[in-house]
Chain A
Amino acid sequence: MELLSSIFSRDNVLFLLAGMRTTIVIAASTILIALFFGTILGLVRNYDHGILGKLSAVYIETFRNTPLILWILAIRFLVPIPAFYSGILSMSVFTTAIMAEVVRGGLNSINKGQFEAAYSQGFGFFQTLRFIIIPQCFKNIVPSLLSQMITTVKDTSFLWAVAIEEFTGKGMILMGRFASSTQVFILFAFMAGMYFIINFTLSSIVRRQNTKGQNLKKPVLVEA
């Protein structure tokens, strides 16, 4: 009991909670920013056959084939903004590319006949996208979006590499003050447990969505 109160003293708990808040704020901002720009990028890559389509393909492939930690370090040292914003920026530019591919997966799952049907009813290209294609696309990609959220929450822990004190960072700082191995192991279990609770909740929703999806016409395969 004494051991537990030495680890989870009021100060320590507040310290860790502050880290969790940073983690959640960065993850949530990243997901929102990435979803917005990822949708644009995915649409452009899929439907523009000119220079814009090529540029978004280059963007997507560049970020998909290089590690996140590289962008975290590069943006931290090359872009002169505060650490916290540099964290959001690097996570966002990277996750945007992943989101773009998720959105593209959704777009490709929609039958081309939908376009033809909409055109025959007098819809223009953008109207078709706005009212017919995008709503169906987002409905199909809910499971992939949720798994991307899990990945993003986990990815925030890379930010400790540039000393942004998110949950992992705070935990490791606290761990440095502990001497006994029992304290260290309990803290590790606590950190892992907190991430687990958040992500397991999300992944349970994914599973429910997936089983529901089997009744749909075409399930979208999730790639982590």
Chain B
Amino acid sequence: MNSSPFSLDKWGRLFVSWQTFAEGFLTTLVIAVLALALALLLGIVFGMFSSSHLRGLKGVSRVYVEFIQNIPLVIQIFFLYNGLPLVGIMLDKFTIGVLGIGVYTGAYISEVVRAGIQSIPVGQMEAAKSQGFTHVQAMRYIILPQTVKIVLPPLTNQAVNLIKNTSVLAMIAGGDLMYRADSWASSQLLYGPAYVTTGLLYFVLCFPLATWARNYEQRLKSHDVQSAVLLQKSKKVFWGSLPELSKKGAA
């Protein structure tokens, strides 16, 4: 009985050290929230850049997205942790977490925002400009508010990815949930209960978000065929897929 990795007394020993897990959970949560704020900021700015007509801005945004998305997060975090101190830039692990994961997710959010902006018909921007709005004003008051509904589900999925990605900090002993659980597990040689608990803690954070995103998207498709149709680009596609969309909503 006691040789099982999940025996009862092992759970008891884990319960006694609940504070370790609570601290890790809290650190993960705080890093995730701050990183998400940074990612949203970067994502909206670069998303607007990539849907603007200025080649320079488009290029900057493209470089950011391609570089960040095509290089593993682990390498980016190692660079902040092992590389930057060599040129005298010392960041603590908490900052590395927020900065590294925020910048990484920002590239994905930028693509979400770009797709959202491009789903709004060009006529909206033209109409706003004809009424004397500047480009930035039109974005702020006309375009972005309309994209919110469309980008919310993919945005929430990115938030879920972000929370999961905070676990990369375990690789630089970052004090997050994954790190604390793993170091506790290896110091006590109790892997089973530690990993199950850790998994559950991540699950309670991610599952509600992921489920909400899925349901919201379903509702969007079934009750608001129009906004789903806005995702389609040309008029030909519009007529071609209309019956399909309504049918899918009914399913």
A-chain residues with CB within 8 Å of residue B71 when the two chains form the complex: 154, 192, 195-196, 199
Q: Is B11 positioned at the interface, with any CB of A under 8 Å from its CB?
A: no
Q: Is B237 positioned at the interface, with any CB of A under 8 Å from its CB?
A: yes
CB contact between B199 and one of A70, A78, A155, A221 (< 8 Å): that residue: A70
Flag if B75 contacts A185 (CB, 8 Å).
no
Flag if B83 contacts A188 (CB, 8 Å).
yes
Interface pick from A1-9, A47-55, A60-68, A134-142: A60-68
User: B211's closest neighbor in chain A, by CB?
Assistant: A61
Q: Is A121 positioned at the interface, with any CB of B under 8 Å from its CB?
A: no
Flag if B75 contacts A168 (CB, 8 Å).
yes
CB contact between B192 and one of A78, A158, A221 (< 8 Å): that residue: A78
State in angstroms the CA–CA spacing of A70 and B203 once bound together.
12
Flag if B108 contacts A78 (CB, 8 Å).
no
Flag if A108 contacts B248 (CB, 8 Å).
yes
Q: Which of B70, B73, B164, B251 has the most CB of A within 10 A?
A: B70
Q: Is B226 positioned at the interface, with any CB of A under 8 Å from its CB?
A: no
Interface size class of A (residues with CB under 8 A): 35 or more
Give the contacts of B40-99 with A (CB-CB under 8 A): 66-67, 69-75, 78-79, 82-83, 86-87
Q: Chain A at the B interface: mostly helix, strand, loop or mixed?
A: helix
Interface pick from B128-136, B137-145, B239-247: B239-247
B-chain residues with CB within 8 Å of residue A221 when the two chains form the complex: 115, 154, 231
A61 touching B207 in the complex, CB below 8 Å, given contacts A188-B83, A195-B72, A203-B70: yes
Q: Is A184 positioned at the interface, with any CB of B under 8 Å from its CB?
A: yes
Q: Is A177 positioned at the interface, with any CB of B under 8 Å from its CB?
A: no
B-chain residues with CB within 8 Å of residue A78 when the two chains form the complex: 5, 191-192, 195
Q: Is A11 positioned at the interface, with any CB of B under 8 Å from its CB?
A: no
Interface size on B, residues (CB 8 A): 55
Q: Is B184 positioned at the interface, with any CB of A under 8 Å from its CB?
A: no
Flag if B75 contacts A191 (CB, 8 Å).
yes
A-chain residues with CB within 8 Å of residue B198 when the two chains form the complex: 70
Give the contacts of A130-159 with B (CB-CB under 8 A): 150, 153-158
CB contact between A218 and one of B83, B160, B178, B244 (< 8 Å): that residue: B244
Q: Is B157 positioned at the interface, with any CB of A under 8 Å from its CB?
A: yes
Flag if B82 contacts A196 (CB, 8 Å).
no
Minimum C-beta distance from A187 to chain B (A) = 9
Q: Is A112 positioned at the interface, with any CB of B under 8 Å from its CB?
A: yes
State in angstroms the CA–CA spacing of A217 and B243 once bound together.
12
State in angstroms the CA–CA spacing of A161 and B167 once bound together.
11
Minimum C-beta distance from B61 to chain A (A) = 15
Q: Is B161 positioned at the interface, with any CB of A under 8 Å from its CB?
A: yes
Flag if A66 contacts B210 (CB, 8 Å).
no
CB contact between B70 and one of A157, A195, A217 (< 8 Å): that residue: A195
Q: Is B170 positioned at the interface, with any CB of A under 8 Å from its CB?
A: yes
Minimum C-beta distance from A75 to chain B (A) = 9
User: B217's closest neighbor in chain A, by CB?
Assistant: A221
Q: Is A36 positioned at the interface, with any CB of B under 8 Å from its CB?
A: no
A65 touching B210 in the complex, CB below 8 Å, given contacts A112-B251, A150-B70, A188-B79: yes
Which residues of A approach B to under 8 Å, CB–CB? 61-62, 64-70, 73-74, 77-78, 108, 111-113, 150, 153-158, 160-161, 168, 172, 175, 181, 184-185, 188, 191-192, 195-196, 199-200, 203, 214, 217-218, 221, 223-224
Q: Can you report 25 residue pairs joining A to B where beta carbons are below 8 Å apart?
A: A62-B199, A64-B160, A64-B206, A65-B160, A65-B207, A69-B170, A69-B178, A74-B191, A150-B69, A154-B74, A155-B72, A157-B75, A158-B74, A168-B75, A172-B82, A192-B75, A195-B70, A195-B71, A195-B72, A199-B69, A200-B70, A217-B237, A221-B154, A224-B69, A224-B161
Given contacts A195-B71, A199-B69, 14 further A-B contacts (CB under 8 A): A67-B164, A67-B165, A74-B191, A112-B251, A154-B71, A154-B74, A157-B72, A184-B86, A188-B78, A188-B83, A192-B75, A195-B70, A196-B67, A224-B69
Which residues of B approach A to under 8 Å, CB–CB? 5, 66-67, 69-75, 78-79, 82-83, 86-87, 108, 111, 115, 154, 157-158, 160-161, 164-168, 170-171, 178, 182, 185-186, 191-192, 195, 198-199, 202-203, 206-207, 210, 231, 233-234, 237, 240-241, 244, 247-248, 251
